[in-house]
Amino acid sequence: MEVKLLSGALGAEIRGINLKDSSKENWEVINNLMLEHKVLFFRDQDITCDEQINLAKKFGPLEKHVYVKSLKDYPEIIRIIKGADEKHQWGETWHTDVSYNPKPTKVIILRSRKIPPVGGDTMFSNMEIAYQTLDEEIKKKIEGKKAIHSSLGAAAFVDKYTEMEGNGNLDEYSNEHPIVRTHPETKKKILYVNSMYTKRIIDMDKKESDEILKKIFEHQERLDFTCRFKWTENAVAIWDNRSTQHQGLTDFFPGRGLGHERIMDRIAIQGDNPK
């Protein structure tokens, strides 16, 4: 097995592991590597939908997205499609997946099916380091505090993406989580807010809440906390959604001849109540 670091902050490209093998032994190796590096990348993994599901189930119960329609024969899989003429793609700003759920996603397994010749890389950021390096005054102000995370409603997930289809649910809802959560496996502290879904700090004046969150969001987006992955077809990313944020880069400019289709298959594993 070969482990190649993508940056000093997080991320590793792994060679010598076959993701068709969903045995307990293989999963334990993958899980330990994920806990260490936060996000893992595997190239040339021509896995089937069933094989992707079998591996995902080793991490825990699979979840269905609250707003987006899944594949007909595989309700556990969302096919993320960016049309050739679209300038936007799903997940194009920094976020932690479904942080608005009472039990936000634990792990994501994303498999590439069709990749443009240029554009559409994904960036990841380490929220353990973000907490460790946060200004001490801000740490004191948010200690013990919780924040509201909003689902934004179905429109945010389907309306501006021509190839993404809703499942019929139109309700918007929210949940509250600790601003600083403790990872249930590593016991490390994580800065658990994000600019997409986190709306306000509970029991704090709105103006102060807005100011603190703005400073935290800017801090979270520091480039030295990140790594960047250039996709190839049949590549798979497995990441710890609890301790990271990510965004898909929208460097697609049809007017410059960079209008390309991009197709990915996503499986999410249900997490726990953040504490």
Q: Which domains does the chain have, with CATH numbers?
A: 2-270 (3.60.130.10)
What's the whole-model pTM score?
Answer: 0.96
Q: How confident is the model at residue 254 (pLDDT cuts 50, 70, 90)?
A: confident
Contacts of 168 (CB under 8 A, 6+ apart): none
Q: How far is Cα 101 from Cα 270, in angstroms, rounded to an integer?
A: 10
Average model confidence (pLDDT) for the chain?
Answer: 96
Q: How far is Cα 246 from Cα 240, in angstroms, rounded to an integer?
A: 11
pLDDT digits (tens, 9 = 90+) for 183-232: 999 999 999 999 999 999 999 999 999 999 999 999 999 999 999 999 99
By mean pLDDT, which of 21-35, 122-136, 171-185, 256-270 is the weakest?
256-270
By mean pLDDT, which of 34-48, 118-132, 154-168 is the weakest?
154-168
Q: What is the number of helices (H) and of strands (E) in the chain?
A: 6, 16
Residue 258 confidence (pLDDT): 75
Residue 88 confidence (pLDDT): 85
Q: How far is Cα 5 from Cα 19, in angstroms, rounded to an integer?
A: 19
Q: How confident is the model at residue 137 (pLDDT cuts 50, 70, 90)?
A: very high
Please count the other Cβ atoms lying within 10 Å of the Cβ belonging to residue 163.
Answer: 17
